[in-house]
Amino acid sequence: MTIILGAEASDPNSAHACDHAVIELTPELAAKILARFAAVQRADSSAHELHFWDCEVSFFQRTEDDGLGNRVPIDSSEYMAFDDAVVIGDDALIWTECEHMVVASNGDEPEVYWRANSKRSPVRMRTCALPRSFLIDATRGGAGTPATSTP
């Protein structure tokens, strides 16, 4: 399934800022993230988050003619799941580096989100979070429930 996540940039007025990100979430990737939640909990009682550098996330800036219409979240704290692939045009993609997945303990509801830096400016980007409950459903091949998350 394709997940489009709301995102925020450290400088939202920059030409190199994003407002969304996209990731292909397979049941295997969801299971891998859930295993990482367990690793955070086992690592140390004071561990808050772990960073992983093996992620496939693309940050993008919405454009008027991107063909996505109302299919994507408007707010940076929202995410949506799609059974079909969602194609983001190259002109909307933000060139990034240091993309990484962050698995955070966040109390009773662990979550995962993604971060990156713009390659062309000092702008830092962060997606909204996906909760553990959404990922459990995704391991079963379900699309979960589109919802909001606090970045």
Q: Which residues pair with 24 in a beta bridge?
A: 2
Query: What per-residue confidence (pLDDT) applies to 82?
Result: 86
Give the contacts of 114 (CB within 8 A, at least 6 positions apart). 5, 21, 23, 55, 57, 99, 100, 101, 102, 126, 127
Q: Is residue 147 part of a domain?
A: no
Query: What per-residue confidence (pLDDT) applies to 39?
Result: 79
Which pTM value belongs to this model? 0.84
The arithmetic mean of pLDDT across residues 19-46, rounded, is: 85
Among 121, 115, 139, residue whose Cα is nearest residue 55: 115
Query: What per-residue confidence (pLDDT) applies to 96?
Result: 92
Q: Is residue 146 part of a domain?
A: no
Query: What per-residue confidence (pLDDT) applies to 144?
Result: 45
pLDDT score of 80 more than 80: yes
Domain count, the chain: 1
Give the contacts of 143 (CB within 8 A, at least 6 positions apart). 1, 81, 82, 83, 137
The arithmetic mean of pLDDT across residues 3-15, rounded, is: 91
**What is the chain's mean pLDDT, rounded?**
83
pLDDT score of 143 more than 70: no
Q: Is residue 132 part of a domain?
A: yes
Q: Please, are residues 5 and 114 in contact by the beta-carbon 8 Å criterion?
A: yes
Q: Give the structural domain span for 87.
A: 2-140
Q: Is residue 149 part of a domain?
A: no
Q: Is residue 148 part of a domain?
A: no
The arithmetic mean of pLDDT across residues 105-132, rounded, is: 88
Q: Which residues pair with 11 in a beta bridge?
A: none
Three-class DSSP category at 134: helix
Alpha-carbon separation of residue 59 from 4, 46, 72, 110, 111 (angstroms): 10, 31, 13, 23, 19
Q: Is residue 118 part of a domain?
A: yes
- Greatest extent of the chain over all pairs of C-alpha atoms, in Å: 48
